Amino acid sequence: MEKWDNNNAWFLVLPVFIIVAFSAIIPLMTVVNYSVQDIFGPGERIFVGSEWFKETLANRRLHEALWRQFLFSGLVLLIEMPLGVMIALAMPKRGWGVSFSLVTLALPLLIPWNVIGTIWLIFTRPDIGLFGFIINSMGIAFDHTASPLDAWITLMLMEVWHWTPLVVLLAYAGLRAIPEVYYQAAKIDGASAWATFRYIQLPKMRGVLTIALLLRFMDSFLIYAEPFVLTGGGPGNSTTFLSIYLVKLAVGQFDLGPAAAFSIIYFLIVLALCFVFYQVLQNVGKGERV
């Protein structure tokens, strides 16, 4: 069905436009302004051109943070996607179990992000945390405040615990949308469980899984509060991701210029990813929504 052409629809969008423009455009303009100046205080600033960009692009700590970020996001996807699909396949299809499962799954998603950090901080401490205690009593020294590897393991555990439910919910929604006829056909053909998965369920879930993949990638790319509470970016800089480093620069050291230049580069990366996301979503929508 065709949409109606009507430019007066702009008036309906106007309130949203004003609110979001106020929250998005003014701050972004300010960031751009900051990025080309050296600011000492109110009213005391000099124009430095692309100096901060040059400095930021050559900053080794930032390169490290960027690679760390990609590694983290990659690992997160590698674990969460298969696990999420597996759990979704095991979910009950009807009965009281459905409501129960959905509510349980959504629970971690509704916990404030810093509380997530706190939960895992308590849970993995060697002295009072169940996880830390068990690992240490097995004779493995585990301390996420001292060893970078342990910090990464703890962060990954937390991230998988926190966000796999989102993948499950998406995959489950995709599974529920498959008409029962397909399964009956598969049954008549005597298809194995694997064949049913490979040739019916997986192709039908392609849309939602793509969405899950991109959402998880974007969100893990922007992660801040949980590692901030759990490790504070340490030990050393071993878990300093992009957002943590940026907040350190902007609020901790109040280096407005470099922080702004960094912000713009960060934003441009996200913008490109976002564009890809949007294109994929448009095409998924075309294929599946009638």
Partner 1 sequence: MDLEWMAWTPVTAGFFIAIGGMLVGMGIWQYISPTIERKGFLPIKTTRGDRFFIGLLTSAYINIAWVGLTSWSLWFAVPICIVWLIIVLRFG
Partner 2 sequence: MKPKKRTILLAFYFGLLFLPIYWMLNMSLRTNADILSVLTLYPTDPTLVNYIKIFTDPSWYSGYINSMIYVAMNTTISLTVALPAAYAFSRYRFVGDKQIFFWLLTNRMAPAAVFLLPFFQLYSTLGLIDTHIAVAMAHCLFNVPLAVWILEGFMSGIPREIDETAFIDGYSLPRFFITVFIPLIRAGVGVTAFFCFMFSWVELLFARTLTVTDAKPIGAIMTRTISATGLDWGLMAAAGVLTIVPGALVIWFVRNHMAKGFALGRV
Ranges within 56-115 binding partner 2 (CB under 8 A): 86-87, 89-92, 99, 101-115
Residue in 69, 96, 127 with CA at minimum distance from that of residue 266: 69
Which of partner 1, partner 2, none does residue 182 bind (CB under 5 to 8 Å by kind)? none
User: Which residues lie below 8 Å from residue 28, measured CB to CB, with a gap of 6+?
Assistant: 267
Which of partner 1, partner 2, none does residue 49 bind (CB under 5 to 8 Å by kind)? partner 1
Applying CB under 8 A, the site for partner 1 has a residue count of 26
Do residues 87 and 163 make contact, with C-beta atoms less than 8 angstroms apart? no
For residue 279, state whether it binds partner 1 (rule: CB under 8 A): yes
The footprint of partner 1 on residues 208-267 (CB under 8 A) is: 265
CB of 16 or CB of 46, closer to partner 1: 46
Do residues 24 and 271 make contact, with C-beta atoms less than 8 angstroms apart? no
Segment contacting partner 2 (CB under 8 A): 50-58, 60-68, 139-147, 165-173?
165-173
User: Which residues lie below 8 Å from residue 116, measured CB to CB, with a gap of 6+?
Assistant: 108, 158, 162, 225, 226, 229
The footprint of partner 1 on residues 15-34 (CB under 8 A) is: 26, 29-30, 32-34
Q: Which of 271, 287, 289, 290 binds partner 1 (CB under 8 A)?
A: 271
Which helix or strand (DSSP H or E) is residue 44 part of? Answer: strand 44-47
- 147: tokens are 């060893």
What 3-state class would DSSP assign to 41?
strand
For residue 9, state whether it binds partner 1 (rule: CB under 8 A): no
For residue 7, state whether it binds partner 1 (rule: CB under 8 A): yes
Segment contacting partner 2 (CB under 8 A): 49-57, 60-68, 144-152, 263-271?
263-271
The number of beta carbons lying within 10 Å of the beta carbon of residue 148 is 15
For residue 58, state whether it binds partner 1 (rule: CB under 8 A): yes
Long-range contacts at 269-276 (CB < 8 A, ≥ 24 apart):
270/218, 270/221, 270/222, 273/214, 273/217, 273/218, 273/221, 274/218, 276/214
Do residues 101 and 91 make contact, with C-beta atoms less than 8 angstroms apart? yes
The footprint of partner 2 on residues 201-260 (CB under 8 A) is: 207-208, 211-212, 215, 218, 222, 224-225, 229, 242-243, 246-247, 250-251, 256, 259-260
Binding residues (CB under 8 A) for partner 1: these are 7, 26, 29-30, 32-34, 36-37, 39, 42-43, 45, 47, 49-50, 53-54, 57-58, 265, 268, 271-272, 275, 279
